[in-house]
Structure 1
Amino acid sequence: MTADPAHLDPAPDGPLGAARRALTVERQRTTDERDALASFLERVRNVDVVEPTPVQGPRRKIQTPQTTGVATVRDAYVETVMSVPHYDEEYGDSYVESLEAEFGADVAAALVQGHFGEYCKQSVLAKTEQALDERERFLSTLDAERESLADTEERIHTILDRVEGTVDDEDGKPSFSALEGRRSTLQNLQAECDEVAADRQAAIRRQHRQLWVPRSAPDVPAYVYQGLDETYPVLSTIADLGECITNRRRTVERRMSEAK
């Protein structure tokens, strides 16, 4: 991007518009996943378990309440978690792969191998509740990101409007004192722009802490905006605004030198 103010216009196809759309999509997908997990949780709670009874004589492969429970859980999982609209596009995992990703290898193995006793049921319930908590926490973080995005965008365009106020009329020939005033205004706007950037970076750090993830994990913009031209569209726009202000200030200072 260049530092031309036109590129900072809040157009739907600009970087900030693209960020808003990506954020909306991610929030809807996370909501769908939360609702699917909640439905799955309720269905698992209603599945009866019967612990195996030791029997004598040759083993026979028969339909038992245990294996029926495994099949019921599988149907519930496929019809909820694996049926969200974006599942194939974003994940595309098999049943086993999805179980391992959500609940871990031990629970996945127990379900696949046909053992749905009380311990397995409680493990599935606990892991599902944990996954639900993670989605709820992520939704709260996405809401915080939406607020940060809206607030930062408003501040960007407030500064931009004031930058535009430092532009001469087509035939304008401002005095040295007028140019000096414009330079002072632009210096103040640069300081405000730097403050906006600092606040945005602080918001990103807060969001990362809110997720309770390792420091090495991607932050919210890196995850939500990874498919955009700019991974950090808001900070990129702020940087463009800062460059625009710097260019304007240099132009004013050059004219001040010529006016002496």
Structure 2
Amino acid sequence: MVGTGASVSFGVQEVADIGAVQTPYGSVTVAALLQLVFVATLCIVGAGGLFSYIAAARVLCRRERQRVAAELEAFESFQSYLQSSTPAASPATPADPQRTLVQQSNDSLAAVRETFAETVMAVDHYKEDYDETLIEHARAELGPDAGGALAEADAFTPGLRSVLVDRTNAAIRQREQFLAEMDAEAESLRESERRLTDPVAESATLVEPLDDEYPALEARWQRFGTVEGHVEQVVTDRSRHATDENTSVPSYLYESFPVPDPVVADASAALGVIRDRRARVTDALTRAN
């Protein structure tokens, strides 16, 4: 990681207004976005290592993907049970027809509840993420009507089975969508980190040595503008990714994250390092002039 030092705030204040981008919070210029996030970053952790937020986000994304995949597998197991189950409906006895049918149905519904608990509620992270009773979780995942019926009904009827299958399929599709979004986010994080690493690395080569003649120093100083533009473009592309309904990040993913967006935060720190190095070339130009 590259240390930033206390002077990183120097170029962030000079970021050119390169236009507005759309974020989940409305329209904002890239310059303002970088500056505001950079200030917030300094307030939270100081001028620390580069790309630490992206690294933390990649760990978070990987962990959440594993959890969603486990939930998907659990719902698929519950779905398989439902599809192979048959609601109890045996001939009634003359002595007590209603009691016989209800008792056999109760036995079947108890088995469905047990299977729900042994699949959907048995994922390793259940207590940490949910810690709900069966009725609470069934209602949350399957809807208040189907979930309530699963937890409180007297009979496992064909109608209830059909509703449970439909709602379980919906829960599966939701997890599949989450997995697709998580994969897109992981790729965005990887690509953003790569695209930020290259400008920072190039900026290091542009400050060594600083004893060249004026034309060479001026060429380096001009090159810094292009390098900074690469960083600003990462922010623009990231903002598009965040608002693209086909690749949008699940809203809950960064709820407890220290900054609103890890890429924008690390891009701001990277820009600070680059601007600091450009200032060193500016000083050398002044001396050489």
Q: Which TM-score bucket, shorter chain as reference?
A: 0.7 to 0.9
TM-superposed deviation, 1:61: 6.1
Is the contact between residue 206 and residue 220 of structure 2 (CA under 8 Å) also seen in structure 1? yes
Is the contact between residue 18 and residue 228 of structure 1 (CA under 8 Å) also seen in structure 2? no
Question: 1:246 aligned to 2:275?
Answer: yes
Q: Unpaired runs of 5+ in structure 1?
A: 212-218
SS at match of 1:64: helix
Residue 214 of structure 1 aligns with which residue?
none
Q: Cα 1:188–1:157, aligned 2, differ >3 Å: closer, same or farther?
A: same
RMSD: 2.7
Residue 28 of structure 1 aligns with which residue?
66
TM-superposed deviation, 1:255: 3.3
Residue 107 of structure 2 aligns with which residue?
68
* Whole-Å separation in 2 of the counterparts to 1:221 and 1:246: 33
* Whole-Å separation in 1 of the counterparts to 2:200 and 2:48: 11
The one of 184, 187, 204 aligned to 1:164: 204
TM-score (norm 2): 0.76
Equivalent residue pairs, number: 245
Is the contact between residue 92 and residue 98 of structure 2 (CA under 8 Å) also seen in structure 1? no
* Whole-Å separation in 1 of the counterparts to 2:280 and 2:271: 14
The aligned amino acid for 1:131 is A
Residue 222 of structure 2 aligns with which residue?
184
- The aligned runs of 1:101-250 (5 Å cut-off) are 101-111=140-150, 112-169=152-209, 172-206=210-244, 209-210=245-246, 220=249, 223-250=252-279
Q: Unpaired runs of 5+ in structure 2?
A: 9-46
Q: Cα 1:105–1:221, aligned 2, differ >3 Å: closer, same or farther?
A: closer
Is the contact between residue 71 and residue 123 of structure 2 (CA under 8 Å) also seen in structure 1? yes
* Whole-Å separation in 1 of the counterparts to 2:90 and 2:232: 67
* Whole-Å separation in 1 of the counterparts to 2:250 and 2:167: 27
* Whole-Å separation in 1 of the counterparts to 2:286 and 2:116: 73
* Whole-Å separation in 1 of the counterparts to 2:260 and 2:120: 28
TM-superposed deviation, 1:166: 1.5
TM-superposed deviation, 1:19: 1.4
Is the contact between residue 155 and residue 196 of structure 1 (CA under 8 Å) also seen in structure 2? yes
* Whole-Å separation in 1 of the counterparts to 2:164 and 2:187: 35
SS at match of 1:80: helix
* Whole-Å separation in 2 of the counterparts to 1:108 and 1:23: 29
Give aligned-pair identity as a percent.
27
TM-superposed deviation, 1:7: 4.2
SS at match of 2:87: coil
* Whole-Å separation in 1 of the counterparts to 2:90 and 2:282: 86
